Amino acid sequence: ETGVTQTPRHLVMGMTNKKSLKCEQHLGHNAMYWYKQSAKKPLELMFVYSLEERVENNSVPSRFSPECPNSSHLFLHLHTLQPEDSALYLCASSQGVNRHDGVLFFGSGTQLSVL
Amino acid sequence: KNQVEQSPQSLIILEGKNCTLQCNYTVSPFSNLRWYKQDTGRGPVSLTIMTFSENTKSNGRYTATLDADTKQSSLHITASQLSDSASYICVVRGNNAGNMLTFGGGTRLMVKP
């Protein structure tokens, strides 16, 4: 295991539902990330948190709302999603944001299907 | 615009055979390049990192090369095993404000018995 745990592993939701993705890291890192992985496309960075403060928001629609209550936990709140939001959502952590030698530790992801 | 292109998009080889995956990038200025392996149903895991001054680095049966002049990297897998079946993602870090990462689309490798 990588030390980054994501729940749930799979999620099916309707466009009117509200759900949350959860991520927890046990590595003592101070930066956490949300990435979106769609079929046959490179990983897309969504949000970055450093020391619980959001430092990056890559023009993500407001129907995605991140929350970082402490350096070990990260949430992604979802509401009124669209079918094109169906993808694998990956959480990652690292020691420091954008360090030259920084390596990302990823969770196993949440496979999201929006009907 | 910073880009990372990987080829082939997918590859099927027989167990025991060797293969080479390619990564071309336009990221400038360049800091480093990292190869990740992503098993089905899992997140990516780092295999190796290449910095500007490194040409070759091995990690078991995986050997990465870097040519910073032509902005190309390769990942060579020797004596492939069924467990090598995965997606391999090339990620390049720039050496500029924010030291941003640019991800390639990955190569999906299938090793058949």
Interface check B7 vs A, CB under 8 A = no
Q: How confident is the model at residue A59 (pLDDT cuts 50, 70, 90)?
A: confident
Query: What are the tens digits of pLDDT across the range B73-109?
Result: 999 999 999 999 999 999 999 887 777 899 999 999 9
- Is A41 within 8 Å of B99 when comparing Cβ atoms? no
Determine contact: B17 vs chain A, CB below 8 A.
no
| Integer Cα distance of B101 and A49 in angstroms | 15
Reported as a pLDDT band with limits 50, 70 and 90, residue A97 is confident
Q: What token pair was written down for B53? A: 């001054």
Q: Would the pLDDT of B10 be above 80?
A: yes
Other beta carbons within 10 angstroms of residue A9's beta carbon come to 11
Q: How far apart are CA A67 and CA A52, in angstroms?
A: 9
How far is CA A43 from its chain centroid? 11
* The pLDDT value given to residue A47: 93
Longest dimension (CA), chain B: 47
What is the full DSSP assignment across B41-86? TS--EEEEEEETT-SEEEETTEEEEEETTTTEEEEEE-S--GGG-E
What percent of chain A stands above pLDDT 90? 77
For A99, which residue in chain B has the nearest alpha carbon? B99
Give the gap in angstroms from C-alpha B96 to the nearest C-alpha of chain A.
10
